[in-house]
A = this chain, B = another copy of it.
Amino acid sequence: MSSKQRKPWINWLLFVATIVVVFILGLLAASVTERKHEAATAYKPVVKLSEWEPRNEVWGENYPREHQSYRQMSDTTFSSKYNGNAMIDMLEVDPRLVVLWAGYGFSKDYNQGRGHVYAVTDLTNSLRSGGPTNEKDGPMPATCWTCKSPDVPRMMAKDGIAEFYTGKWARLGAEIYNPIGCGDCHDPETMNLRITRPALVEAFERNGKKIQDASHQEMRSLVCAQCHVEYYFDKKRDGKSAYLTFPWDKGMSVDSMEAYYDEIDFTDWTHKLSKAPMLKAQHPGYEVYLTGIHAQRNVSCADCHMPYRTEGGQKFSDHKVQSPLNNVANSCQVCHREETAELISNVYDRQTRLIEIRDKLEELLVRSHVEAKLAWDKGATEEQMKSILTHIRHAQWRWDYVAASHGGSFHSPVEIGRVTGTGIEKAQEARIELARLLAELGHNEAVEYPDITTKAKAQAFIGMDVEKLKSDKQKFLKNLVPKWNEEAKKRQESWSVIKVETKE
C-alpha cells in the first residue's frame, strides 16, 4: 500500500521538475536565437564598399562596433596613464635627442604619437614636414605619407607605386586626407586582413616568401608590420623616386640590417656635429617583437593590442589600438593568471632596468658627437675620422633601434639588453679613438659636456633656427592646408555611397 501511495507523488515531482527544466531550456534557446539574430544583423552590410574606399566612417556603417572602438582612440586621455597615445614632447622630456638627431628632421620636433586617428593631422602640424608653399616645396618626400592613410593605397592604385613615391610631400597634400583606418588592413569584400603597402610584399618576395602563404594568425601581426618596421628610402632605384624599402635581405636582426646598410653604403643623413654617416632607425617594432618570447609562443600584435571582446553576443576585435597595460584583463590575463598590478609591475621592472643602460648610451653618443666635432675643429682629416665615424654610426643605429622600437623593452627585453650593450661598447670605442686623435691634435683632456638641459638650449647648441621653422609652419597651416582640406572634402562629397538592398 505504501509503495502505491508514494508513486504518484514521485511522478508529480518528476513532472514539475521536467516543466521547470524545459522552461529554462526555452529561455536559453530564446536568448541564443536573439544573440544569433543580433550577430547576423550586426554583420549585414549596409553600404557597398569600393576596393580602395578610404573613408573610415563609410566602413563604419557596415561594422559599427569596430568603428566605434576605433573612434575611441580620438580621446587621447584614455590611455595617458600608461603613456599610450598622449601627445608628449619627447625633445622637451629628453633634450639629448636634439643633439643625436642634429641635421635630421627629428631634431626639429618629435612628439609621442597620438595614435592612428591623428596620423594625418599630427604629421601636417609637425615642424618636421616644414612649411611648403606649393606642391614642389618642403623638406620631405611624398613617400613620408606612406603609412599615414588609406588614401595611400587608393593613390598607388591610381598612379602607380613608384609614381606615388616621387616628388615632394606637399604634392599629395590634398589627396591624403583620411587617417590610418579600415582600408589599410581589410579587404572590403571579405573583410579578410590584407596587405595594402607594397614594401612588405616586396621584401617577402625578395626573400623567396609569399605573403599569401601567411596564416590568419600571422596576418594579425603582418598588417601591423606594414608600417611598424625598419625601412629606408631607396633613391638609387630609378633615380627619381624615394622608393620605400625594407632592409631585410640579410635578415631582420639589428646586426643583419646594419650589415645591409653598410654594404649598400646607405646613409639617412650626415650628422651636423660629428659628420658621421648616420642611420635613422624608424620603428622596428615588428623586428624586435620577432626576437621575443610572445612571438615565439605565436602571440600576435592584435592579441594584446586589439584583443577580442564580446558585445551583444558579438565577438569582435577591439579596434581601440592601445597599450595592453590599459587593458590587462583582455590581453595579458587571457594567458597569465597573475593580478593586474603584478603584471604591470613586471613590465615596468623590465623597462626600468633597460632604460638605465639606454640612457647611459644616449649620454655617450652625445659625448661622441661633441668630441668628434672638436676633432674636426682641431683639423682632423677624413682618413683619421673614418673608423671613429663608423663606430658612431653603428652605436647610434643600435641605440635608435632600441629607442624607436617602442615597447621593445617589453617585447624582447633580452635582445634589447644585448643591443644596448653592443651600442655602449661601440660608442665608447669611438671615444677611445677620439681620445687618441684629440691628444694628437693637441687636446689631451676630457671634453666638456654641453649644457643641453632643455630642448631650447639643445636646439640652440646645434644651431637650429626654430623661430623660422615655426613661422614657416604657421604660414603653411594658414595658407595651404585649408585649401587641401577643402579640395579633399569636395572630392569625397562627389563620391556616391551605394546602399545595399536588404531582403528582409
Interface: A290 (CB within 8 A): no
Residue of B nearest to A345 (CB): B296
Interface: A356 (CB within 8 A): yes
Interface residue ranges of A350-400 to B (CB < 8 Å): 350, 353-354, 356-357, 360-361, 364
Residue of B293, B425, B440, B445 touching A360 (CB-CB under 8 A):
B425
Interface: A53 (CB within 8 A): no
Interface: A234 (CB within 8 A): no
The interface residues of chain B lying within 8 Å CB-to-CB of A418 are 353-354, 356-357, 417
Q: Smallest CB–CB gap between A151 and chain B, Å?
A: 41
The interface residues of chain B lying within 8 Å CB-to-CB of A424 are 421, 424-425, 428
The interface residues of chain B lying within 8 Å CB-to-CB of A346 are 293, 296
Q: Smallest CB–CB gap between A451 and chain B, Å?
A: 22
Q: How many residues of A contact B (CB 8 A)?
A: 37
Taken together, the copies of this chain in the complex come to 2
A contact patch SS: helix
Interface residue ranges of A394-430 to B (CB < 8 Å): 413-418, 420-422, 424-425, 428-429
Are B414 and A354 in contact, with the CB atoms below 8 A?
yes
Are B357 and A422 in contact, with the CB atoms below 8 A?
yes
Query: How far apart are the CA atoms of A439 and B435 in the complex, in Å?
Result: 9
- Knowing A428-B429, A428-B432, A432-B431, say if A415 contacts B357 (CB, 8 Å): no
The interface residues of chain B lying within 8 Å CB-to-CB of A440 are 439, 444
Are B432 and A350 in contact, with the CB atoms below 8 A?
no
Interface: A209 (CB within 8 A): no
Query: How far apart are the CA atoms of A127 and B468 in the complex, in Å?
Result: 73
The interface residues of chain B lying within 8 Å CB-to-CB of A235 are none
Residue of B nearest to A423 (CB): B421
Interface residue ranges of A432-480 to B (CB < 8 Å): 432, 435-436, 439-440, 444-446
Residue of B350, B353, B444 touching A439 (CB-CB under 8 A):
B444
The interface residues of chain B lying within 8 Å CB-to-CB of A444 are 436, 439-440
The interface residues of chain B lying within 8 Å CB-to-CB of A415 are 353
Query: How far apart are the CA atoms of A376 and B286 in the complex, in Å?
Result: 50
Most buried by B among A356, A364, A417, A444: A417
Residue of B nearest to A297 (CB): B338
Residue of B nearest to A255 (CB): B356
Query: How far apart are the CA atoms of A432 and B444 in the complex, in Å?
Result: 11
Query: How far apart are the CA atoms of A328 and B440 in the complex, in Å?
Result: 58
Query: How far apart are the CA atoms of A360 and B424 in the complex, in Å?
Result: 11
Are B445 and A354 in contact, with the CB atoms below 8 A?
no
Q: Smallest CB–CB gap between A304 and chain B, Å?
A: 18
Are A420 and B417 in contact, with the CB atoms below 8 A?
yes
Q: Smallest CB–CB gap between A350 and chain B, Å?
A: 5
Interface residue ranges of A218-256 to B (CB < 8 Å): none
Most buried by B among A353, A354, A356, A429: A353
Q: Smallest CB–CB gap between A268 and chain B, Å?
A: 25
Query: How far apart are the CA atoms of A446 and B432 in the complex, in Å?
Result: 9
The interface residues of chain B lying within 8 Å CB-to-CB of A435 are 432, 435-436, 439
The interface residues of chain B lying within 8 Å CB-to-CB of A446 are 436
Q: Smallest CB–CB gap between A115 and chain B, Å?
A: 28
Residue of B356, B417, B422, B445 touching A416 (CB-CB under 8 A):
B417
- Knowing A421-B360, A428-B432, A435-B435, say if A414 contacts B296 (CB, 8 Å): no
The interface residues of chain B lying within 8 Å CB-to-CB of A425 are 357, 360, 364, 424, 428
The interface residues of chain B lying within 8 Å CB-to-CB of A338 are 297
Are A421 and B357 in contact, with the CB atoms below 8 A?
yes
The interface residues of chain B lying within 8 Å CB-to-CB of A296 are 342, 346, 349
Query: How far apart are the CA atoms of A311 and B92 in the complex, in Å?
Result: 65
The interface residues of chain B lying within 8 Å CB-to-CB of A414 are 349-350, 353-354, 413-414, 417
The interface residues of chain B lying within 8 Å CB-to-CB of A417 are 353-354, 357, 413-414, 416-418, 420-421
The interface residues of chain B lying within 8 Å CB-to-CB of A416 are 417
Q: Smallest CB–CB gap between A419 and chain B, Å?
A: 9
Q: Smallest CB–CB gap between A434 and chain B, Å?
A: 8
Most buried by B among A296, A361, A425, A440: A425
Q: Smallest CB–CB gap between A410 and chain B, Å?
A: 10
The interface residues of chain B lying within 8 Å CB-to-CB of A431 are 428, 432
Q: Mark A183-196, 1 if CB is under 8 A from B, else 0.
A: 00000000000000
- A417-B417, A421-B424, A439-B444 given; name 6 further pairs at CB < 8 Å: A357-B418, A420-B421, A424-B424, A424-B425, A431-B432, A440-B444
**Can you sample 5 A-B contacts with CB below 8 Å?**
A360-B422, A425-B428, A428-B428, A435-B435, A436-B445
Leading 6 A-B pairs by shortest Cβ distance: A417-B417, A428-B428, A439-B439, A357-B421, A435-B435, A353-B418
